Structure 1
Amino acid sequence: MESRGSVPVRPLPYEGVWRFTAPAVDASVPRARHAVRDLLVRQAVPADEDLVQMVLLIVSELVTNAVRHAAVLSPEVGVEVAVGADRLKVSVEDGHPYRPKPLERDQSRAGGRGLLLVQEISREAGGACDVEHTAGGGKVVWAELPLTSPTAPLSAP
């Protein structure tokens, strides 16, 4: 339990870390997105609909990247959602050692700008995005965003 000065701080009811794995296949993209949305609703995370849509787009992009580019060395991807008092972090882990780099805004390409999109969404929301290597030789790509309305819980659709 954290403390601020001499007063211990209890976690808020929606705070916690949740992790699930999924096979590195295309069908896992919408499943991961729905699982994250269900989690946010179930935990009553105080996120407005704009933030929820940003998080779901980030989940879609990161899981898609893992499925497309890492499946050959990583038959599963891990998705983690960490919710703090004022921040929400989404991470996608795979077992492939390649560290992706965001592509430039090349309008002639039909795809390949997912990480750039995640970085821009994160930055515009006042958050951050990065890629880190794991101890097992893979990587974790994460995005962290501030919670925008800490007093209003997300309502069920």
Structure 2
Amino acid sequence: MSLSRQQRFPRARASVRAARQFVGDTLGDWGVCERRDDMRLCVSELATNAVRHGAPLGREFSVRLGWEGEIVAIEVRDSGPGSPVVQQPGLGAPSGRGLWLVAELADEFKIRDERVGKTIRAGFKLGPA
């Protein structure tokens, strides 16, 4: 089985919630309950980064959800410059844990430079149906 859905979001705070809702609704439509909270948390972190650091003013970012075999993958793509770096800030740091958290929760984690912008992919293995 191979399923895929994609949606674009404006560079706005409300888009983080909308992206989380999109992933939750899609997983629900597909009958996926396993690891749903992990996936919703990860898309929140990735969408937040796209809004705060990735998508240029006036531009959008996209969220693609794909299910192939035992892997559900979330890909967040923006057209902004630069490549994000996974950090593990100290306990007192007020921010900077998002990508580290995604990398820890996901079974697969990749940052892919695109011709314009970048795509961050987080893959989650599901158990047998």
Q: Does 1:85 align with 2:83?
A: no
User: Who is 2:18 aligned against?
Assistant: 31
TM-score of the superposed pair, with normalisation by structure 1: 0.77
Give 1:134's match in structure 2, choosing from 103, 106, 114: 114
Aligned residues: 129
- Contact 2:88 2:96 (8 Å CA) reproduced: no
Which secondary structure state, in structure 2, belongs to the residue aligned with residue 39 of structure 1? helix
The alpha-carbon deviation at position 94 of structure 1 amounts to 0.1
The alpha-carbon deviation at position 59 of structure 1 amounts to 0.3
Which secondary structure state, in structure 2, belongs to the residue aligned with residue 144 of structure 1? strand
The alpha-carbon deviation at position 104 of structure 1 amounts to 2.1
Q: How does 1:44-63 map to 2 (within 5 A)?
A: 44-45=31-32, 47-48=33-34, 51-63=35-47
Which of structure 1's runs of 4+ aligned residues deviate more than 2 A? Answer: 71-74
Which secondary structure state, in structure 2, belongs to the residue aligned with residue 107 of structure 1? coil
Percent of aligned pairs with the same residue? 32
**Aligned equivalents of 2:78, 2:58: Cα separation in 1:** 6
Return the index of the structure with the highest Cα Rg: 1
The alpha-carbon deviation at position 97 of structure 1 amounts to 2.3
Unaligned runs of 5+ in 2: none
Q: Provide the alpha-carbon RMSD of the alignment.
A: 1.4
TM-score of the superposed pair, with normalisation by structure 2: 0.93
The alpha-carbon deviation at position 73 of structure 1 amounts to 5.5
